[in-house]
């Protein structure tokens, strides 16, 4: 099973293998010899099939931030167990996630409240525009994760609806 990396929402499956003192990177059906010599303060030299490239790098958890050839990129590593966990399970479909970073303008519901499909749960503001986060199904509010005025990041949980018994 290859490792999973994401660049700009695109998945890439790679494997790194030892090749003596250096490594080989396997991507798709290709492979190339690679190594990385870190220098001071985030700078480094990436050796890629014999060619040398100056890079500036920084790590933040599973994300490698990289400046190469005049552009910055973020490459995210996803642990395989997490990567392959299904979305169908109980968790994901009961939570409204923030579509983008922003701040909460209004919270219209309280935990325990019954909501109808289409009812506004919270109003968020982002990019100077208001967006209503609406109930995607009928149900009861299990938790409200934000309060008015709170800033939040992309994909932050906003409201959780109580799981409903699914028809078999």
**Whole-angstrom distance, CA of residue 54 vs CA of residue 42:** 11
Q: What is the DSSP letter of 98?
A: -
Cβ closer to other proteins: 13 or 113? 13
86 binds other proteins (CB under 8 A): yes
Site track for other proteins across 20-39, x = CB under 8 A: ---xxxxx--xxx-xxx---
Size of the site for other proteins (CB under 8 A): 74
Which of 58, 116, 117, 162 binds other proteins (CB under 8 A)? It is: 58
154 binds other proteins (CB under 8 A): yes
**Nearest one of 99, 156, 160 to 135, comparing CA atoms:** 160
**Nearest one of 101, 108, 114, 103 to 144, comparing CA atoms:** 108
Q: Rounded to 10 degrees, what is the CA torsion of 127, 131, 136, 137? A: 150
52 binds other proteins (CB under 8 A): no
Which of 29, 81, 119, 165 binds other proteins (CB under 8 A)? It is: 81
Q: Which stretch binds other proteins (CB under 8 A): 10-18, 114-122, 135-143, 159-167?
A: 10-18
φ, ψ dihedrals at 164, nearest 5°: -105, 145
134 binds other proteins (CB under 8 A): no
Residue that the structure tokens 């910055």 belong to: 72
Cβ closer to other proteins: 79 or 113? 79
Q: Supply the minimum distance, in Å, between the C-beta of residue 123 and other proteins.
A: 10
**Whole-angstrom distance, CA of residue 25 vs CA of residue 27:** 6
């Amino acid at each position: 099973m290859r490792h999973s990396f994401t660049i700009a929402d695109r998945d890439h499956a790679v494997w790194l293998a030892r090749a003596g003192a250096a490594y080989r990177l396997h991507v798709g059906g290709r492979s190339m010899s690679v190594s990385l010599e870190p220098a001071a303060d985030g700078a480094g030299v990436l050796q890629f099939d014999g060619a040398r490239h100056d890079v500036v790098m920084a790590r933040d958890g599973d994300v490698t931030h990289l400046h190469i050839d005049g552009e910055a990129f973020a490459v995210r590593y996803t642990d395989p167990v997490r990567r392959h966990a299904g979305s169908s399970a109980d968790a994901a479909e009961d939570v409204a996630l923030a579509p983008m970073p922003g701040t909460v303008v209004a919270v219209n519901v309280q935990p325990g409240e019954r909501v109808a499909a289409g009812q506004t749960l919270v109003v968020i503001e982002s990019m100077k525009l208001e967006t209503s986060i609406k109930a995607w199904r009928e149900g009861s509010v299990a938790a409200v994760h934000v309060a008015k005025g709170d800033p939040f990041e992309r994909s932050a949980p906003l409201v959780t609806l109580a799981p409903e018994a699914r028809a078999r």
